[in-house]
Structure formats: structure tokens, C-alpha cells
Copies of this chain bind each other. A is one copy, B any other.
Amino acid sequence: MIHYLGQPGSYSFLAALKYFKNGNNLAGSDSFYKIFSKLKKQKSDYGIIPVENSLTGSITQNYDLLMKEDIFIVGEILLKIKHHLLVNRDTISNLNNLLYCYTHSESLKQCHDFFLLNKNIKPVFAEDSASAAILLRKNRSNIYCAIASRQAAEINKLKMLDIKVQNDDNNYTRFAVISRRPNKNGNKASIIFSVVHEPGSLLKALKPYAEAGLNLTKIESRPIIGKPWEYIFIVDFILQKDNAQINNVLKKMKKSTNYLKLLGLYDPGKIYES
């Protein structure tokens, strides 16, 4: 079994479908926490979770769960997010008649300009984008719309309006495939660590990467507030040689870190259209 966030037609569902190439073993979940919990209890083999969006940044909640739980990244996939404005099939395609819009909070952020321009339309919370489409289908009202994927529109037999609803088309989400067992190989690595408490600790922790000539593809610091110069770091990088390389780097890093977890080795993900 493979767990994703939401209902069929959610972006996590679409990412799972592209990654695993079939939808037979997919099951929806209503929180990231539950996706991790299902894995821990051996009720699923894989989970798929968003870790970063090109417009809104890292999904810190999932990094916190990866840090806390004995769960590892074993794959990744990038999905271009294309939000559509959906209405029931018999709704007249006129924005002025709409008063409410079902939307996930992340979609709301990514479509914020639309709501600023159309003050008559109030956002109504949905657990995920596909749930927004389901709520609209069940509600049947003509003063409601929803923000969701093309696939969620098709699954729920809703009409897509020809209206630009998202702020920016450069909207990609990077999903991580997670599992109880880490891969032994892979060209890409993700690590999370915290550094010792002293000025300059942030750059010092990166020295082993520079020395090994590794190519970083992501770096992010999160402050531990109230503890100056203490940070949690997330770093992704590409391995050029064999796995011995990563062991060397991690060994060097352990000297200047308080906490260090190899989140996983995996092959760099491909980009798909949603």
C-alpha cells in the first residue's frame, strides 16, 4: 500500500500515480502525520509527501517528521502544479455570481492574487485540493467554486473555467517517496543536521562539502530561536563517485554537528506535468 495526502485527483495522488506508474495500491490519508504513522505501523510500504514548492518554499512540517521518525527518503518526483477554477456543470461561467470557493490552504496561498481581485469570492477551507472538488460536487450550489487539478475536475465531473487562478505559472512541487527502509544506493542524498553553538558554525558545517567538491542542490537553515548560532540545516547534494564519498563527508561532519541524520539516498527525480 502507498499512502498520499488527500483524495483521488489531489496533487499528491497525481505524483504517486506518475512515480509508481499505476494507481492500484494507492490510498488517501488526511494528514502527513498519518502517512508517517501508517508506515511505522507497517500498514503501508511507501508514502509520498511534498517537501518543497517553488513558490512557497519548504514544507517544514514534513522535514520535522523526517527528523523525528525512523523513516527515510527513497525517491523523488517533481510535479508542475496547475490549479484550475472549477464550478458545477450547470453553473454560469461568470465570476460575479460566485460567492465561495473551496480551497486547500496551500492552494489559497498560491492563488492569493485571484482572491484579492475577486473580493466577492470567499475561500472555504478544504483538507486538500481534491477534497475541495468533492465538496463542490456534493454541495451542488451555483454560488460555489473550487480550486483543484484538471484530474480532480474530471473525476468529479466538474467544469473548468478558462480563468488564470494561480499567481505564478512557475509552480512546481517536489515530492519525496518515503519508506521504513533506506536505499543503499542513489545519486542524490538528503541530510538534516544541527550545528554546535558558536559563531561561524553555519559555514563550518559546509566545509566538508566544499572539500569533497560536492554539488549542493538545496540548502536551508532554520534558526533555533533563543539559541543564537544554533540552527537546523537541510542539505541536498549530488554524489559524483561511489557511496564511500558520502561516508567520508558524514564522518567529517559529525565533528561539528550536534545531530545528523542521512534522510536518504535516491535517484534525482524527473519533472512531470500535472
**Residue A123 interfacial (CB < 8 Å):** yes
A 209-237 to B, binary, CB cutoff 8 A, 1 in contact else 0: 11001011111111111100100000000
Minimum Cβ distance to chain B for residue A77 (Å): 13
Are the C-beta atoms of B225 and A213 separated by less than 8 Å? no
Q: In the complex, which residues of chain B have a beta carbon less than 8 angstroms from the beta carbon of A200? A: 213, 215
Q: Which residue of B lies closest to A59 (CB)?
A: B57
Minimum Cβ distance to chain B for residue A69 (Å): 15
Minimum Cβ distance to chain B for residue A66 (Å): 14
Q: A100 to B224, alpha carbons, bound, how many Å?
A: 33
Q: Knowing A199-B215, A203-B216 touch, does A222 contact B112 (C-beta < 8 A)? A: no
**Residue A20 interfacial (CB < 8 Å):** no
Q: In the complex, which residues of chain B have a beta carbon less than 8 angstroms from the beta carbon of A33? A: 113, 116
**Residue A159 interfacial (CB < 8 Å):** no
Q: A135 to B55, alpha carbons, bound, how many Å?
A: 29
Are the C-beta atoms of B199 and A203 separated by less than 8 Å? no
**Residue A260 interfacial (CB < 8 Å):** no
Q: A162 to B52, alpha carbons, bound, how many Å?
A: 35
Minimum Cβ distance to chain B for residue A188 (Å): 12
Minimum Cβ distance to chain B for residue A34 (Å): 8
Are the C-beta atoms of B109 and A61 separated by less than 8 Å? yes
Taking beta carbons and an 8 Å cutoff, which residues of A are in contact with B?
30-31, 33, 52, 54-58, 60-61, 78, 105, 108-109, 112-113, 116, 122-125, 170, 172, 199-200, 202-203, 206-207, 209-210, 213, 215-226, 229, 238, 271
14 additional contacts (CB under 8 A) given A57-B222, A105-B109, A202-B216 = A30-B116, A52-B223, A56-B60, A57-B60, A57-B220, A58-B58, A170-B224, A202-B215, A215-B229, A218-B221, A220-B220, A220-B221, A225-B271, A226-B271
